[in-house]
Structure 1
Amino acid sequence: MREGFDSAATITMSAVEPPTPVRLDLSRHAVVRGHTVIPLSVREVEALALLAAEPGRVVRRSELTTAIWGDDPPSGARALDMVIRRIREKLGPGGDAIRSVRGAGFVLVSHPSLEVTARPA
């Protein structure tokens, strides 16, 4: 036996907590993370409703912009990116379920901690 090695030593592994499930409740205009309800703005709901309508489909930037602002799009080119950034922050660990598709738009992909529970009528 090598010097300094204790054959009776045990390895203790810390329990890794699973991520808090995130529920996207579009009918309530909210993200529910554990027991915390995080309200969504109207623009955030519009964007999420479009992305959640067909998960896995790339939604073009122009389609999202029209859904959010209608015929009066914002003058700033980064306004849509800011809406998506705020949504990702509110989703927490599920935020990376919204993926950027360079030159095209955004897509909502399956994520183990994200569940869409209701879609607005």
Structure 2
Amino acid sequence: MKRFTRILTTKFNNQERISLIEEFRSNSFRIFLISAQTSATTHGIDLDNVNIVINYNLPRSLGINSDLDYVTYHQRLDRCGRYDKHGYLFNLIQTLDDWNIQLGQQNYFSFVIKQTDINGIRALVL
């Protein structure tokens, strides 16, 4: 049976990570979940044909205040809608801290992040 979804976590070694990325590039599956809050797991991943990125966990900088890691966030944003293609980035906001970090994103990147729910997402991507 063909799998449509695969997940990459911080528990994967480098060879497993490379193998999974190659599977995605060869269209062996359509949904690639990357579970990582830092850039270490995702560093060097360069994929075409990605039009949706979902931040289940907002990338955090290491340290006491754990603010948004703006570089990693921008890299994730850059993954969707590349080469003049349309793309979407969704942040799943789970806590008040996530909400405050999202407000900080808006200030840092100088744009308004629109709120939506599952019905709004369906309307955008289906």
Instruction: Please report the TM-score for the alignment, with normalisation by the length of structure 1.
Output: 0.28
Select the structure of larger CA radius of gyration: 1
Instruction: Please report the TM-score for the alignment, with normalisation by the length of structure 2.
Output: 0.28
* Structure with greater strand share of residues: 1
